[in-house]
Amino acid sequence: MKKDEIPQDLSALGKITKEVCYATDNSGKYTTELSSGWGVKIDALDVAWGDIEKRIAAAKQKVLNKEASPIYFFMEYRLMDLSILADYTGFWKWQIKRHLKPDVFSKLSDKKLQKYAEAFNTTIEDLKNMTVHED
């Protein structure tokens, strides 16, 4: 791709950041240029974020139906899996699986809930109520 052909389609991230692309200059040598976005990539990211939003909504509904604990909602919301959450909290994965059960979650100590709250960047009260505050 030539320097003057680098796409500059405005995306949601275009105002925040730019992407480095490689292109050829007038003499045919490779150089770097900044791109504010590319339509095809923007569409793909929009589809991916749509899928994530559906997973978050499904997780919230499972918690409301008492099929899972609020930990499940926050795992989806913060894009975490068992391994990542285990690393953040120090709990074993099997322990987290148990804590995903509503009846087990309701009996967790404040000390354990605090570990989850810190991992999810929230408070114990907001964890229990599935309240999200974005700064």
pLDDT score for 64: 96
Residue-wise pLDDT tens digits, 56-100:
999 999 999 999 999 999 999 999 999 999 999 999 999 999 999
pLDDT score for 14: 64
pLDDT score for 81: 97
pTM for this entry: 0.77
Residue bearing tokens 């994965």: 93
Q: What is the mean pLDDT of residues 40-57?
A: 90
Q: What is the mean pLDDT of the chain?
A: 90
CB-based contact 55:65 (threshold 8 Å): no
Residue bearing tokens 């009846």: 103
Domains of the chain: 3-37 (no CATH), 49-129 (1.10.260)
